[in-house]
A and B are shown apart, each in its own frame.
Chain A
Amino acid sequence: MSMVRSIYSVLNKENPLSEYYVDIQGMNFSRGDRVIYDDVSIRIPKGKITAIMGPSGTGKTTLLRLIGGQLYPSKGHIFVNNQDVPLLSRSDLYLLRKKMGMLFQSGALFSDMSVFENVAFPLREHTNYSEDIVRDIVLMKLESVGLRGAAQLMPSELSGGMARRAALARAIALDPELVLYDEPFTGQDPISMGVVVELIKRLNDSIGLTSVLVSHDVGESLSIADYVYILSNASVIAHGTPDEIRNSEDERVIQFLGGLPDGPVPFHYPASSYADDLGLKKS
């Protein structure tokens, strides 16, 4: 196995000319008997914001975990920065993750550390910066998400939206090459939402990082994304630029963007007949 990995690592030397930071090819993934992805291919261009959208339960968060190497596909390849993630050794995977930042849906702040310490954590782990520099970087990151004044608060003292913004500051603390955002707009008031949208856009424009944005918020996502994938029923049902998606004539896309309850995408989780469940029989 180690030999296979060595050969792979030689073949997978970083190719600076590659256009895609993440390249998923023919990926299959299942949880038990439930197929989450069936032969899915997704390409995330370098330096762009790619939005991944779709109904609840289609495995959008699972996709981020597959990209981050926390889950393994049953088939297919997941290339991140030209390295096939499922084939990486544990140490190589951790090296690759240093180039990534991930904003979790729950925030996932360390509950025994203040907001300041949370944001400083990756800097202290992966750099040899002096305390003064760490302090300055942390305050700059917190200022960008509007939480400089909350630096000394504990995570338990933050609202859900504030915790997610603090987690966003932590995710970008090291200025990673790839940031995975899992529902960054959830729980934000309109003002904070605007700031977060602007921040994601600005990070992309200024330092050219690659962003993968998983979100249900159609308007906000389409407003900043360069490219959009819509997932449903274990496959990609549409992809293209925001304008192409808006003008799509696919019924499933129209139903999703319009938030329509009736259409090809079922609102209900697969189930037996409602009348049978209630014990109602036709006379």
Chain B
Amino acid sequence: MKRISKLGGSVFDWLEAVGRAGLLLSQSVFHLPRSIAGALSLLGKQIYSVGYLSLIIVVVSGLFIGMVLSLQGYSILVKFGSEQSVGQLVALTLLRELGPVVTALLFAGRACSALTAEIGLMKATEQLSSLEMMGVDPYRRIIAPRFIAGLICLPILSVIFSAVGIIGGEFVAVDWLGIHDGSFWSLMQQSVVFGNDVVNGIIKSFCFAIAVTWIAVYQGYECTPTSEGIGKATTTTVVLGSLSVLALDFILTAAMFGDF
């Protein structure tokens, strides 16, 4: 009986958390800012900290993943005499899957963990309370710019990741393994459909951005305001964010490319 009541309690806790997360999002985003210039200034700062500062890790990861993809693809395709198609393989893999997914995982680890820790520390040092007592809504001042910055930055980072990955793939395939550059690029151009591959990749990325940034700001805002609580919330952001990305990826891939 105790187990059942404990299970019931957990379900109610979970439902309450979902409700609170929904309220946090609706009260943060679906309101017009008091001043457009002020809101843009806050957003700019967050785009710098969430997006620009994540650029290095995304570019370096994209480069190496593109290079590895090219090398692995070549080693298999050469057995069938179709090593010229390596450009096609690299581009489709990056644009459809690895670009959005790996960028979102990196983003969850680099930017979202920082967001949770920052908001959690603001809570622990009573900065959020002092905003409230000054009549400034922390949802609009703290949560909204961070959430919107995440939505803007992740799709852009994902496109940059894929572009750099393709350049890395070209470097290995053409400059190192000696595939003709005309074949590399023309086969890629032939097989990649902008609407189907590039746009779908960006849509995926946007959905991932909603999930991971929402989790990050919610975990930060609702964390226990202690060093242990902030640490736990940061870990939860990365774990839950990463799992959400992978689960969402399956659903979105089935919806976008599952029409066999």
Contact = CB atoms under 8 A, between A and B. Distances in A.
B135 A110 contact: no
Interface in A91-143: 94-98, 100-102, 104-106, 108-111, 121-122, 125-126
A121 B127 CA distance: 12
Contacts, number: 53
Interface residues of B, number: 12
Please provide the 7 A-B residue pairs with the shortest distance between their CB atoms, ordered closest to farther: A108-B126, A98-B135, A108-B130, A97-B135, A102-B133, A94-B135, A104-B126
What size tier do the contact residues of chain A reach?
A: 20 to 34
Interface of B: 27, 125-127, 129-130, 132-137
Given A108-B126, A125-B135, A126-B135, 10 more contacts: A70-B132, A70-B133, A94-B132, A94-B136, A95-B135, A102-B133, A108-B125, A108-B127, A121-B134, A125-B136
9 contacts: A68-B132, A95-B135, A96-B135, A97-B135, A104-B129, A106-B125, A108-B125, A111-B127, A125-B136
Interface of A: 65, 68, 70, 90, 94-98, 100-102, 104-106, 108-111, 121-122, 125-126, 167, 180
A111 B133 contact: no
Given A104-B126, A108-B126, A108-B129, A125 B134 contact: yes
A100 B125 CA distance: 20
Nearest to B126: A108
A254 B13 CA distance: 46
A110 B127 contact: yes
B198 to A, nearest CB: 37
Contacts of B134: 97-98, 101, 121-122, 125-126
Nearest to A125: B136
A121 to B, nearest CB: 7
A180 B132 CA distance: 14
B127 A97 contact: no
Nearest to B45: A112
B209 to A, nearest CB: 24
Contacts of B126: 104-106, 108
Contacts of A105: 126
B127 A68 contact: no
B138 to A, nearest CB: 11
B27 A97 contact: no
A89 to B, nearest CB: 12
Contact of B129 (A70, A96, A122, A126): A70
A90 B27 contact: yes
B133 A68 contact: yes
A100 B137 contact: no
Nearest to B136: A125
Contacts of A109: 127
A241 B127 CA distance: 34
A264 B104 CA distance: 60
Given A106-B125, A108-B126, A108-B127, A100 B133 contact: yes
Nearest to B121: A111
B132 A97 contact: yes
